[in-house]
Amino acid sequence: MRSSALFRTFLVILLAFGLSARTARALVTLNDGTDKIYVSGSFSMGYDSNISASAANTSDFAYSSSMSIEYQRKAGLIGVNGTIAFALNDFVKNPGYDTLNPSYSIELDKGTGRMTGALTLSAQRTSQADVAVNLYDTSWNYSVGLNLHYPVIERYSFALSLNYGLLDYTDKGGQPLVNLATYSASLSLFYILSEQRDLFATYRYRLEESSATTSTADQGLSLGVNGKIIWEINGSLSVGYELRTPRGFAQAGTDADSEFGDFWVTGTANWAANRKLAFSGSLSRDFSTTATGATTVTTSGTLDATWSQNARLSFNAGVGGGINQFYGPFGLLPNSTRERRDYYFTWHTGVNYTFNSHLSASLTYTYFQNWSNLAFAAFDRNSVTLTLSSHW
């Protein structure tokens, strides 16, 4: 009965999307075009073989729907972008995982004048399978960010970024998860080498404080290139080194408060092989803190391809992989002095079809395999999802 009701709901939403795609205006415009309102909605249904991302291998069918309202104002010196959204997740066999997640965001941006920048504030409730702690958790994510750009002379400019984030777990899945507050600041110097390429240097300081009275402080310096990286490949690539200083871990009886360093890498790239085929990739290596307070060095890379058959039909595929290296007392295996190590590989493929400017559909398949010296963290995962999206 429950599944039948969900299926009827799916048909009603599908019909509503189809009708709105034919009759609704592309957007609502007010005050002579300075104020605009966009409305988006989606409905998805699919199967996930491992909803907790663990060796428990709990599988289920799920239905998800979302709706968002976006307000934009482009008038005067400061522009405004605000969004309110709600996402509903409904599991067939495991109703304990059902969630209703709201999200709110607002951005004030200044795009004219010598100094440009944006102030952003957001609050979002998320539910996800966390690979680092191998359970399905729910949390509120609060963030505040200020980003400024100031040109000194024709070729030189500075970029300043100040950010605060709070990760507050509301459903910990019965595990001792810790909340995490993050403060970060970065300063970058850009040099215009040519019309196609910029060089930049970045210094970043980041402080993470957990509700378990532990903290880490990171300091890193990197050099990079932005624009044309090599040949016809465009994007951004930076390589540097950073130091992490832990505090409050020594009570675990280890030397975990000792400072240690590692390479810091961030990169994205895009290449259009021809009018139909395009590639994109990413590369990352950085410190992070898990929901249990463990320090990890995470190395990851992805490569994706998109084939656009025509304006309506496109296909995509991609691969990815990485290593999660756990450090410190919270990164040890149970009853052992060995630290946890995870290696993962993933690939995906999908098809997208655009019916018109308001309605589109996608079908995706994703495979994920995680190898770990922690038995409970060794698992594989298959998922298939059909999604309908509407925007006007």
The amino acid at 378: A
In this predicted structure, what is the pLDDT of residue 257?
A: 62
Least confident of 69-78, 196-205, 361-370: 69-78
Mean pLDDT of 145-158: 93
Work out the average pLDDT over 370-380. 94
Q: pLDDT tens across 68-105, in order?
A: 999 998 888 899 999 999 999 999 999 988 999 999 99
Q: DSSP state, 52?
A: T
Burial of 11 (0-12, 13-18, 19+ CB in 10 A): exposed
d(Cα 254, Cα 327) in Å, to the nearest integer?
A: 11
Residue 1's pLDDT is: 42
Q: What is the pLDDT of residue 392?
A: 83
| Helix-, strand-, coil-residue percentages of the chain, each rounded to 5 | 10, 65, 25
What pLDDT does 377 receive? 92
Q: Per residue in 218-274, pLDDT tens?
A: 999 999 999 998 888 999 999 999 999 988 876 544 555 678 899 999 999 999 999
- Eight-class DSSP state of 31: G
CA distance 307 to 276: 5
- Residue 209: count of CB within 10 angstroms of its CB: 20
Amino acid (1-letter code) at residue 189: L
Domains and CATH numbers, the chain: 2-391 (2.40.160)
Mean pLDDT across the chain = 88
Percentage of the chain beyond pLDDT 70 is: 89
| pLDDT higher than threshold 70 for residue 172 | no
| Structure confidence by residue, pLDDT tens digits, 12-53 | 454 454 444 444 454 677 777 778 899 999 999 999 999 989
Strands 295-308 and 277-289: antiparallel
| For residue 131, pLDDT beyond 60 | yes
Q: Give the single-character DSSP code of 333.
A: P
Residue 32: strand, helix, or coil: helix
Backbone angles phi, psi at 95, to 5 degrees: -65, -15
pLDDT-derived band of residue 6, with 50, 70 and 90 as boundaries? very low
